[in-house]
Structure 1
Amino acid sequence: MSTHQGVAIITGASRGIGAATAVLAGNAGYSVVVNFSADADGAARVVEQIKNDGGTAVAVQGDVSDPNAVLSLFDAAQALGPVTAVVNNAGITGDIIGNLVDVSAETINRVLEVNVAGTMFMCQEAIRRMSILSGGKGGSIVNLSSTAVKAGSPGTWVHYAASKGAVDVLTVGLATEAAPHGIRVNAVSPGITNTGLHAAAGMPGRVEGVKHLIPLGRGGEPAEVAAAVLWLLGTEASYITGAILPVAGGR
């Protein structure tokens, strides 16, 4: 276990990349707030694993698209100590596959609420709480984007890719605004990764089906994406802000 690094909030941390990031953050010495929207059992398992590894963690329910829930999430985190790291991992596809013309207005609105507005709300509160100009410790924000932005995900998730394009722009702009506050803002952009996201959208074999398109010949693992997130959070990346780091096997 590393020395204490402060408190890290990981949104959408009950499974997949979020869960892997939370466990790695606990091992790196952060007290971890495992945020979840609905999967309380999954969040509890992540907390248990962090504690079994000798770390400190709590699970906190909250929908990041609700500004009041975001406030409550930060309040719960500050009970553990100063927040120094925020990972905006919570994101949804709307569990639909197809052309944009067939995506319902409700799905489009919900994806934008969670992926874009939710990330913005989290970033706003992170700066308020972490800013060295208002007594905070400074720190780092890492947003989760997607390499879907590069091609736009035609025929599958154009709406999702568009939301992640917004996350990229947010990351670049906010990095400049947050720098005087002692806060770095970066993003990790995963490619095809072995998570439950594909099965939830009705494509359980998607990773296997597209691996021939990936130069490294396979899908990524959540722990590999988490390692990039933790690197950007840490002091090794202390001169990096406004970066979007692809973790995509060369695709």
Structure 2
Amino acid sequence: MPAESEFGGRVALVTGAAGAAIGSTTCRALASFGAGIVVLDNHERRTNETAEALREAFDVPVMAAAADIGDRERMAETMDEVYDEMGSVDILVNSAAINVQGSIFDFDPEDWDNVIAVDLTACWWLIWRTIGAMRDRQWGRIVNVSSVAAYLGGNGREGPYAAAKAGLNEVTRGAAIEGGPHNIRVNAVAPGLVRSKWVDAQAEYYESFRAETPLRRHAEPEDVANTIAFLCSDESAHITGQVINISGGWYLTP
């Protein structure tokens, strides 16, 4: 794990940051090692509440930024605001995503467009928006939150999500190749099921998934957040372009 205060003076922007699972937990993990945090989420109330909780818990700069990452015009304004208030972004965590499930026989093409716009295109745009300043400073860390769905064809019910995450894995590798000479490391994490209120509410349905997982449990948000923090730290200094599977081995099961 990172050394104490390793990220002191750094600024981390986390998307989907006000969610109760991976996003907000990642904010806490990075703040605990000294990073200033930009809480970026499309839910304004939760964004402000998450930012306030971070200010109370950690002695780091925190900015609440309520915006939909799929809204290019609003995101351009938001990033200008981030740079004005917090300075350049050193650490980018692309965690926000949407998922519309259904069969290809019944799918609305507009749903496909929306999923790709948020889960893939917006992530690429944020990398593009931040990586230039990282190059100028010769330091940057980017972690994309992918999914085991990228390897499984969406299990036949979440094709757009799976396609977006598979594309995000390739964006990760491409950015790692270009960023490497400038001390910019780019990696991804690919969780399976992560315990959340949503998963807990459907515990009976997901019991079979848990039972088929070699480690016999769903991931906790901390399992993912701690891996993200590791990938941003000097403990992973020679790791880039990788997709780290965090599923307890679930993707191995037939």
**TM-score relative to the length of structure 2:** 0.88
In structure 1, the partner of 2:51 is 47
Question: What letter matches 2:212 in structure 1?
Answer: L
> Quick one: distance in 1 between partners of 2:204 and 2:77?
38
Alpha-carbon separation, structure 2, partners of 1:72 and 1:207? 40
Residue 232 of structure 1 corresponds to: 231
Report if aligned partners of 2:131, 2:140 keep a CA contact under 8 Å in 1.
no
In 2: Cα distance, 1:204 partner to 1:50 partner? 30
Looking at structure 1, the residues matched to 181 and 138 of structure 2 have their Cα atoms a distance apart, in angstroms, of 12
1:183 is aligned to 184
- Tell me, yes or no, if the aligned pair for 1:194 and 1:207 is still in contact at 8 Å: no
The aligned runs of 1:1-251 (5 Å cut-off) are 2=5, 4-15=8-19, 16-37=21-42, 39-54=43-58, 55-78=60-83, 79-94=85-100, 97-132=101-136, 136-196=137-197, 205-251=204-250
Change in CA separation of 1:21 and 1:122 when aligned onto 2, cut-off 3 Å: same
Q: How far off is 1:198 after superposition?
A: 5.0
For residues 108 and 9 of structure 1, what CA distance do their matches in structure 2 show?
A: 26
Where does the alignment leave 5 or more consecutive residues of structure 1 unmatched?
none
In the alignment, the residues of structure 1 paired with residue 186 and residue 141 of structure 2 have an alpha-carbon distance, to the nearest angstrom, of: 6
Sequence identity (%): 30
1:203-233 CA distance string (max 9 Å, x none): 5644334101110101111111010011101
In structure 2, relative to structure 1, the CA distance for the partners of 1:50 and 1:205 (3 Å cut) is: farther
Q: Measure how far apart 1:58 and its partner are.
A: 1.5
CA distance in 2, matches of 1:234, 1:81: 20
- Structure 1 residues 153 and 183: alpha-carbon distance in aligned structure 2, compared to 1, 3 A threshold: same
Distance 2:51 2:224 in 1: 19
**Structure 1 Cα separation of the partners of residues 168 and 41 of structure 2:** 20
Change (3 A) 1:70 1:184: farther
Which amino acid is 1:215 matched to? P
- Report how many aligned residue pairs link the two structures: 243
Unmatched 5+ residue regions in structure 2?
Answer: none
Partners of 1:204 and 1:72 lie apart in 2 by 40
Give the TM-score taking structure 1 as reference length. 0.89
* One-letter amino acid of the structure 2 residue matched with residue 156 of structure 1: R
